[in-house]
Structure 1
């Protein structure tokens, strides 16, 4: 599982106050996440150490159930795995892991905001914000990782709607370079 190198991450720009400038694509729509409605088996590949030139990955599986909320402006999912590997790939915690994503479409800006909360943290992460163009969505936020300022990008590649690919990358240099640290390919459960 690798990010498609033909899919460049859009350039990151900042306003005068250092905040990310994110503009919706012309085709951005409140129906962009309709492809996800239903149940999925997800195959993950996660980098064991982020921003440390690590080459070791851990693979695991999860399930996900997704549905629309709030009419035409929302989408949510519940993510579950029987055991989330530790950040360094270790196994053996024996604890199930759940997460919830809430995706909200702003009808004025035409941008999506994606909020994630995990059972082991119990707090919403800062939302990643963006839109889709040509069946590929890029969603960005500023965050910190182990005390370092980073920009986070989530990419949804839905050119194959039966096997969408989600991936995540971090940039510690304001978007000049990116380290991909998590991929998952989803397969619809029929």
Structure 2
């Protein structure tokens, strides 16, 4: 039910949502959790001690979502655009090693058809790490996964990517402190994790 890093520019409406607005900026001293970049430039990700196949069980069910997106990324932009969506999560699959949901919204700048996305989350019993994969109805191609685990109620997941021709780190963060209103966020780092800019976030509200 997260939104992909390559999600197209959308026609959006502005909402008033304090719980989302509070997440507008990641503190400048934000640090990577259970992850680092080696001297050779490799992204090293370790599981938390409590990493479990049950980490995403809280997502099972139907959700209404309030989404927020930075108008422009890594350009000192401070304008946030907001819109609504829904998600249907099927809960645990593959005997506990997976989790899957469908994301839907009517806003899609790439065409007249509604936009849909699918998230597949897979748990590796050997590494005890989750890999989160995204595919959408515009491209039909799986993005490289973000990988990580939960430390308590907060999960962090990372990958290396390229934005506007420059290498970046991508981070997804899930906060399930309130399992009926979990918060997802995405941030980019242009300097191997020393600084981060949040550019997308959403709050999900359980429907059933």
Q: TM-score, normalised by structure 2?
A: 0.83
**Aligned Cα RMSD in Å?**
1.9
1:51-90 to structure 2, matched below 5 A, reads 51-67=74-90, 68-84=92-108
Of the three residues 118, 123, 132, the one matched with 1:100 is 118
Q: Which has the higher contact order (CA 8 A, sep 6+)?
A: 2
Unaligned runs of 5+ in 1: 87-92
Cα distance between partner residues in 2 of 1:112 and 1:55: 32
Q: Deviations over 1:110-131 (max 9, x none)?
A: 0000001111122111100000
Cα distance between partner residues in 2 of 1:146 and 1:5: 22
2:198 alignment partner, SS class: strand
Of the three residues 143, 158, 165, the one matched with 1:125 is 143
2:46 alignment partner, SS class: coil
Unaligned runs of 5+ in 2: 1-19
The answer on whether the counterparts of 2:130 and 2:148 sit within 8 Å (CA) in structure 1 is yes
Q: Deviations over 1:140-163 (max 9, x none)?
A: 000011211110000000011010
Cα gap change, 1:8/1:52 in structure 2, threshold over 3 Å: closer, same or farther? closer
Cα gap change, 1:161/1:70 in structure 2, threshold over 3 Å: closer, same or farther? same
1:71 alignment partner, SS class: helix
Answering whether residue 172 of structure 2 is matched by residue 150 of structure 1, we say no
State the Cα distance separating 1:82 from its structure 2 match.
Answer: 1.0
Q: How many pairs does the alignment contain? A: 184
Cα gap change, 1:105/1:149 in structure 2, threshold over 3 Å: closer, same or farther? same
Of the three residues 159, 170, 173, the one matched with 1:141 is 159
Q: TM-score, normalised by structure 1?
A: 0.90
Cα gap change, 1:38/1:58 in structure 2, threshold over 3 Å: closer, same or farther? same
Cross-structure match for 1:40: 63
The answer on whether the counterparts of 1:98 and 1:118 sit within 8 Å (CA) in structure 2 is yes
The answer on whether the counterparts of 1:9 and 1:138 sit within 8 Å (CA) in structure 2 is no
Cα gap change, 1:185/1:29 in structure 2, threshold over 3 Å: closer, same or farther? same
